[in-house]
C-alpha cells in the first residue's frame, strides 16, 4: 500500500503547497484507490502522479471548509471523461449535507456524470464501511465546524500454509490447499484436522488513522492509540505558536509530542502546514525531528 500527498497546505494554496488531498493506493490489497478530502486543484495535482482517477472509487470528506472540499466537483466532473463504460460507481463518505452539496453543485455547473454516486452520510463517530478486508470508522474531532477523522483498520490475515507439513500427510499442492486455509477444520483420509495446525502465525492488519483539522483534546489519544500509521494535521510547527494553534482550533508540534509520548506509532506524517513557513524553515524543523516524524510536502509518496 502507498500514500500520495496531493495537497499539504492549510487554508489556501501557497507557492509550494496545494490545499488538502490524500490518496491511498490500495490496489494490491483491495484493487482500489481511496481519496481523503479534495481541496482546490486536486485534479491538477493528480496529473503529476501515476494515480488513475478512474481507480478512485471511494472519497472521504472530513468537513466543509473550502481547503478540504473545493476541488471535489471538478474532480468528479473530470473523472467522467476518463472512464470506460464498464467502470464502477463512486461512493462519497462525508458529514450530513455532503449529498446536498454535491447534487447542488453538479446541477449549478450543468455537469453531467456518466457514473453513479452513492453517498454515506454520518453525524457522529460511526463505523461507515466494513467488508471482509477492512473496517473504516469516522471519528468526531474538535474544530470550528463539525469535522471528522477516519480510522482504517485492515483485518488480520490468516498465515501461510506449511506445505511441507501437509505433504507429510500426503496432501499435494492443489485446489484443496485453498479449502484448508479457508476452513477451520478439514477432513483427509477420514481424519479431521485443525487448519490452524498447518498455518503460520496470523498476519496483523495495519491500522491507519487520519486526523484532519482539530484542536488537541483528551480523547484524541484514545482515537489514535493502536495505530501503525498516523497522518495528522500540524498547522503550526513551532512550539511558541501553541496559543495561536489553540486560537484557531488547530494542532501544534507540542500536541504531536503528547501523542508521541502516549502512542507507539511507527510513522507520523504531518500535513495541513501553514503557509508562514518557507522551504528553509521546514528543512530546519525537519532536521530537529525524529526519523519517524515527517513533515510532508506536495506529491510526496510513501510505502506503508
Q: Compute the distance between CA of residue 74 and CA of residue 256 in angstroms, rounded to an integer.
A: 33
Which residue in the block uniquely carries the three cell numbers 486536486?
42
User: Which residue's entry shows cell 486455509?
Assistant: 181
At 295 the three-state DSSP class reads: strand
Contact (Cβ atoms closer than 8 angstroms) between residue 69 and residue 38: yes
Cβ contacts of 192-197, under 8 Å, gap ≥ 24: 193/169, 197/165
CA–CA gap between residue 21 and residue 43 (Å, rounded): 10
Q: Are 140 and 148 in contact (CB under 8 A)?
A: yes
* First CA to last CA distance, the chain: 6
Residue 218 dihedral angles phi and psi, to the nearest 5°: -55, -40
Q: Among the options 67, 213, 255, 298, which is catalytic?
A: 67
Write the DSSP string, 216-237.
--THHHHHHTT-SEEEEE--B-
Query: How many CA atoms, within 13 angstroms, populate the side-chain half-sphere of residue 265?
Result: 30
Which stretches does DSSP call E strand in 175-295? 185-188, 191-194, 207-211, 229-233, 267-271, 293-295
Is 264 a known active-site residue?
no
Active site residues: 67
Amino acid at each position: 500500500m502507498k500514500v500520495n500527498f496531493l495537497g499539504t497546505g492549510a487554508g489556501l494554496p501557497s507557492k509550494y503547497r496545494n490545499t488538502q488531498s490524500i490518496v491511498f493506493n490500495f490496489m494490491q490489497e483491495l484493487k482500489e484507490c481511496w481519496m481523503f478530502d479534495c481541496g482546490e486543484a486536486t485534479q491538477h495535482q493528480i496529473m503529476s502522479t501515476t494515480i488513475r482517477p478512474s481507480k478512485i472509487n471511494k472519497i472521504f470528506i472530513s468537513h466543509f471548509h473550502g481547503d478540504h472540499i473545493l476541488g471535489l466537483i471538478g474532480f468528479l466532473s473530470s473523472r467522467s471523461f476518463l472512464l470506460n463504460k464498464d467502470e464502477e460507481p463512486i461512493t462519497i463518505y462525508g458529514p450530513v449535507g455532503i449529498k446536498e452539496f454535491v447534487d447542488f453543485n453538479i446541477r449549478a455547473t450543468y455537469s453531467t456524470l456518466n457514473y453513479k454516486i452513492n453517498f454515506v452520510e454520518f453525524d457522529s463517530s460511526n463505523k461507515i464501511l466494513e467488508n471482509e478486508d477492512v473496517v473504516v470508522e469516522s471519528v468526531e474531532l474538535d474544530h470550528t465546524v463539525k469535522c471528522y477523522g477516519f480510522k482504517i483498520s485492515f483485518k488480520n490475515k490468516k498465515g501461510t500454509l506449511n506445505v511441507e507439513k501437509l505433504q507429510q500427510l500426503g496432501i499435494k499442492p492443489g485446489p484443496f490447499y485453498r479449502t484448508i486455509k479457508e476452513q477451520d477444520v478439514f477432513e483427509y483420509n477420514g481424519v479431521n484436522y485443525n487448519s490452524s495446525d498447518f498455518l503460520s502465525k496470523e498476519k496483523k492488519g495495519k491500522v491507519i488513522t487520519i486526523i484532519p483539522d482539530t484542536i488537541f483534546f483528551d480523547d484524541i489519544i484514545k482515537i489514535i492509540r493502536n495505530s501503525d500509521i498516523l497522518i495528522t494535521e500540524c498547522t503550526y510547527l513551532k512550539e511558541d505558536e501553541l496559543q495561536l494553534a489553540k486560537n484557531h482550533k488547530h494542532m501544534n508540534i507540542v500536541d504531536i509530542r503528547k501523542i508521541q509520548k502516549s502512542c507507539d506509532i511507527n510513522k507520523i506524517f504531518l500535513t495541513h502546514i501553514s503557509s508562514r513557513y518557507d522551504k528553509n524553515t521546514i528543512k530546519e524543523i525537519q532536521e530537529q525531528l525524529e526519523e519517524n516524524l515527517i513533515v510532508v510536502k506536495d506529491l510526496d509518496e510513501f510505502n506503508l
